[in-house]
Amino acid sequence: MFSPRVVSLVPRTGPRRFMSTASKLTTVEVNDKTGIATLTMCRPPVNGQNLELLLDIKSSIKEIENDSSRGLIITSASPKVFCAGLDILEMHKPDQQRLRAVWTELQNVWCALYGISMPTAAAINGHAPAGGCLLATACEYRVMVPDCRIGLNETQLGIIAPKWLVSGFLNILPKRVAERALTQSRLFTTDEALQEGLIDEIANSKEEAVEKCAAFIGTFSKVNPVARALTKLQFRAENLRQFHKEREQDVENFLSLVNRPEVQKGIGAYLEGLKKKKANKQ
């Protein structure tokens, strides 16, 4: 199902690049000068998080961690979308084993990104609803391009986002703003996200967003890395501890929710809506 990773290192002069996986759903490029790794999601058209993409993101994060990079930037190869969240096709008339694996891997990706000790930043070069927002809010810093939307819209889909999925969001926003945004399924525009503190900066292009993320990571160059890492993890430990306590039950909750006939009906209708949107565009 998942092919072994092929790692090809290009010479150490100039930026070093290694293609993360044989399937190429993500790439990892390490800048030799700065030591910062950029993880790019490459599953057209919208980086829908299917099982293979989630496995690939997780492996790339682990690879970056093992390579002792100075920091991690996550971004997307898609011109308009950072990540559209879970691939809805994985939830429609699902294969049960695969559905279980999808949710488990979403948990694993979040856990790997949220709990990594090195500095992390998201160059949000397009829309970032639901699982896209989850990735961005697991990072320490966010830079977003104009005229896009970011947020947790699960409630609108009839889903109650579990605590771990919301914890990054809650790290960033005041509780009152987070509660209202979640209950209203609010997708913030880039400007609103900046105003509320959900993102840290706006950039006019993906390249500029990556540069700003690298500058943020660079601010730690004179800070003791062990002290920095332990401080970060101290802030995140309670959320991670709670997550590990509840993760198995959370998978069962997800499976039972998705398998409910009314939810399946809702997912079908949602998919139809996305298709109609395409037809209206043409």
Ligand X SMILES: CC/C=C\C/C=C\C/C=C\C=C\CC(=O)SCCNC(=O)CCNC(=O)[C@H](O)C(C)(C)COP(=O)(O)OP(=O)(O)OC[C@H]1O[C@@H](n2cnc3c(N)ncnc32)[C@H](O)[C@@H]1OP(=O)(O)O
Catalogue the active-site residues.
86, 131, 153-154
d(CA 214, CA 74): 11
Q: Of the candidates 52, 56, 63, 87, which one interacts with ligand X according to CB under 6 A? A: 87
Q: Shortest gap between Cβ of 267 and ligand X (angstroms)?
A: 5
Measured distance CA(271)–CA(215) in Å, rounded:
39
- C-beta closer to ligand X: residue 173 or 217: 173
The answer to whether residue 146 forms part of the interface with ligand X (CB under 6 A) is: no
Which of 124, 156, 145 has the alpha carbon at shortest distance from 47?
Answer: 124
Helix (H, G, I), strand (E, B) or coil at 197: coil
| Minimum separation from the CB atom of position 54 to ligand X (A) | 11
State the amino acid at position 130 in one-letter form.
Answer: A
Q: Which residue is nearest to ligand X (CB)?
A: 85
Residue with tokens 């003791």, as numbered in its chain: 224
For the beta carbon of residue 43, count every other beta carbon within 10 angstroms: 23
Instruction: Specify the residue, 15 or 79, whose C-beta has the smaller distance to ligand X.
Output: 79
Q: Which is nearer to ligand X, 153 or 167 (CB)?
A: 153
DSSP codes joined into one string, 9-65 = ---SSSSEEE---TT-SEEEEE-TTT-EEEEEE--TTT--B-HHHHHHHHHHHHHHH
Residues touching ligand X, count (CB under 6 A): 32
For residue 159, state whether it binds ligand X (rule: CB under 6 A): yes
Binding flag, residue 153, ligand X (CB under 6 A): yes
Asked if residue 74 binds ligand X (CB under 6 A), the reply is: no
Binding site for ligand X (CB under 6 A): 45-46, 48, 80-81, 84-89, 91, 127, 129-131, 153-154, 157-159, 254, 257-258, 263, 266-267, 270, 274-275, 277-278
